[in-house]
Amino acid sequence: MRGLASLVAKTEGRSAWSDGGSKWFTGGSSTTVTQWTAFNLSAVWACATLIADAIATLPVGTFRKDGETRRSTDAPYWLANPNPLSDRLDYDTQRILSLLLWGNAYTLLVRKNGSLDPAMPVVERWLLNPGHVQARRVVAYDERSELVYWVRGEPVPRQNIQHIRGYTPPGFFLGMSVIDQARRGLDMTVSAELAGKNLYDQGMHQSGVLEVPALPSEVSKEVTDRLRDTVMERHSGAGNAGKPMVLTGGTQWKPSMLTPSDAQYLETRKFQINEICRWFRVSPHLVQDIVAHASQGGGNGIEQQATEFAQYTLMPWVRRLEAQDSPLTPRGQYIQYDLEAAVRADIATQNESFAAGRNGGWYSANDVRASKNLPPIDNGDIYLQPVNYAEAGTQPTGPPVTMPSPEPAAVPAQGAN
């Protein structure tokens, strides 16, 4: 067991994933944008960590189908404690980030007694740096293909690697990275941030031209460079911002007509936030985009927005985790994340929905309890129906319901006050 787990110690550090599996589908050939430089962009950080945190904090459990009833089972130890160094919050956060940024998540599975038998139970799970994993498809003599994995150049048996893929093109076996696909747009965002940094570092908010009538039309480059450097030294920089400019000898500063506002610098930044959110399928208001939040009514429809986030953003990634984790449980069991927890903010509305279904006859007590991952109760499979429910024009079945007659009021005795 320690032999396999020791591979994890060799995967520490940062490395860009380059496997060749999805490079044909990348959105550009920029060399300035990697997974790590893209993660420095606030919109990328906000979108990726939002999805990772939302999934890592969802309740998760193991269940077993018993006829038409779902019953909770004892969860394996590795579900809450994947390895001695990570709990489920850390582990799920890391593998979602791996899926979003690199397109693939690789986990080293350590089985009981270090066995290579896939029938032996898993005792530890170690997430691997995707930059240190190579996967190749090998065709055997019987013309069947299988995946072969190497971790830092060392082969690892297939049954000891859990490989979760992101979106995979037809005919490929590796997932596509969101960063690789969005590289061209992210390159523009990085360039815009660099342009803004240079703009404010210089402190001269308007680029312009120095006109010096005292200088002849033909002057050496040394003179013009010295004049420009002198002006920059005295008037640029954050410490000189706002100070009046004093020029002598008839020198004039004429700002150019192209200002940051004219170049729509801020509009470009806003567009890039929406563009990044579109790649991650996250509504801009969820990443603190104030303009988007105001345009959506300042918070109206929060419950509906939470439902859409859970359904269209979280569910595809959650289902991938469930599909790969469930085979690690004993036969007949499966793992399920409780996505309802992501939209459970309005408890009153949820209780009203359950009450309406219970009184309307399409929910039983055990149906409601199953949705809450609670065990069934005795006589909990009975469906209720109001006595006045009947087809139009017919009388409800059952004995007639009679209301008790009111008791006559007591007559006061004569002479009573």
In which band, very low, low, confident or very high, does the pLDDT at 297 lie, cut at 50, 70 and 90? Answer: very low
- Say if 416 falls within a structural domain: no
- What is the predicted pLDDT for the residue at 289? 65
- Say if 404 falls within a structural domain: no
- What is the predicted pLDDT for the residue at 94? 96
Given a cut of 60, is residue 386 above it in pLDDT?
yes
- What is the predicted pLDDT for the residue at 140? 66
The burial class, CB within 10 Å (0-12 / 13-18 / 19+), for 66 is: exposed
- Say if 98 falls within a structural domain: yes
76 DSSP assignment: P
- Mean pLDDT on 202-213: 58
Enter the tokens of residue 258.
Answer: 């192209």
Strand locations in 196-331 (E): 208-211, 252-255
86 DSSP assignment: B
- Say if 159 falls within a structural domain: yes
Are residues 38 and 180 located together in one domain of the fold? yes
Q: Between residues 274 and 6, which one has the greater pLDDT?
A: 274
Residue ranges making up the domain that contains 285? 2-185+268-324
Q: Between residues 281 and 233, which one has the greater pLDDT?
A: 281
Are residues 12 and 131 located together in one domain of the fold? yes
CA–CA separation, 47 vs 188, rounded Å? 18
SS3 282: coil
SS3 149: strand
- 53 Cβ neighbours under 8 A, 6+ residues apart: 93
- Say if 251 falls within a structural domain: yes
Given a cut of 80, is residue 60 above it in pLDDT?
yes
Are residues 71 and 130 located together in one domain of the fold? yes
The amino acid that residue 72 corresponds to is: S
Are residues 138 and 250 located together in one domain of the fold? no
Q: Between residues 236 and 172, which one has the greater pLDDT?
A: 172
- Say if 112 falls within a structural domain: yes
In which band, very low, low, confident or very high, does the pLDDT at 64 lie, cut at 50, 70 and 90? Answer: very high
- What is the predicted pLDDT for the residue at 172? 85
Q: Any bridge partners for residue 69, and if so which? A: 66
How far, in Å, are 8, 78, 124, 301 from residue 90 at the CA level?
A: 16, 13, 14, 31
Are residues 240 and 299 located together in one domain of the fold? no
For residue range 153-205, list pLDDT tens digits in order.
899 988 899 999 999 888 888 998 888 887 766 766 666 566 555 555 555 45
Are residues 226 and 99 located together in one domain of the fold? no
Q: Any bridge partners for residue 61, and if so which? A: 336
Enter the tokens of residue 354.
Answer: 């359950």
- Domain end, chosen from 199, 230, 255, is at 255
- What is the predicted pLDDT for the residue at 409? 55
- Around Cβ 155, how many Cβ atoms within 10 Å? 10
Given a cut of 60, is residue 33 above it in pLDDT?
yes
Are residues 157 and 303 located together in one domain of the fold? yes
Are residues 152 and 228 located together in one domain of the fold? no
- Mean pLDDT on 287-294: 60
In which band, very low, low, confident or very high, does the pLDDT at 87 lie, cut at 50, 70 and 90? Answer: very high
- Mean pLDDT on 255-275: 60
For residue range 317-376, list pLDDT tens digits in order.
999 999 999 999 998 899 999 988 877 655 667 777 788 888 777 788 888 887 777 888
- What is the predicted pLDDT for the residue at 1? 45
Are residues 248 and 272 located together in one domain of the fold? no
- 261 Cβ neighbours under 8 A, 6+ residues apart: none
- What is the predicted pLDDT for the residue at 321? 97
Mark residue 281 as left, alpha or beta (left: phi above 0; alpha: psi -120 to 50; beta: remaining): left
Given a cut of 50, is residue 22 above it in pLDDT?
no
Given a cut of 50, is residue 18 above it in pLDDT?
no
Q: Between residues 142 and 182, which one has the greater pLDDT?
A: 182
- Say if 234 falls within a structural domain: yes
- What is the predicted pLDDT for the residue at 395? 55
CA–CA separation, 15 vs 281, rounded Å? 26
Least confident range from 55-59, 85-89, 296-300: namely 296-300
- Say if 297 falls within a structural domain: yes
Q: Between residues 300 and 230, which one has the greater pLDDT?
A: 230
- What is the predicted pLDDT for the residue at 361? 78
- What is the predicted pLDDT for the residue at 274? 85
- 144 Cβ neighbours under 8 A, 6+ residues apart: none
Are residues 122 and 237 located together in one domain of the fold? no
- What is the predicted pLDDT for the residue at 178? 87
CA–CA separation, 73 vs 60, rounded Å? 12
Are residues 120 and 229 located together in one domain of the fold? no
Counting the structural domains of the chain, the total is: 3
How far does CA 160 lie from the centroid of its chain? 27
- Mean pLDDT on 214-242: 70
Q: Between residues 180 and 121, which one has the greater pLDDT?
A: 121
Highest mean pLDDT among 57-61, 66-70, 134-138, 244-248: 57-61
Are residues 158 and 238 located together in one domain of the fold? no
CA–CA separation, 31 vs 28, rounded Å? 9
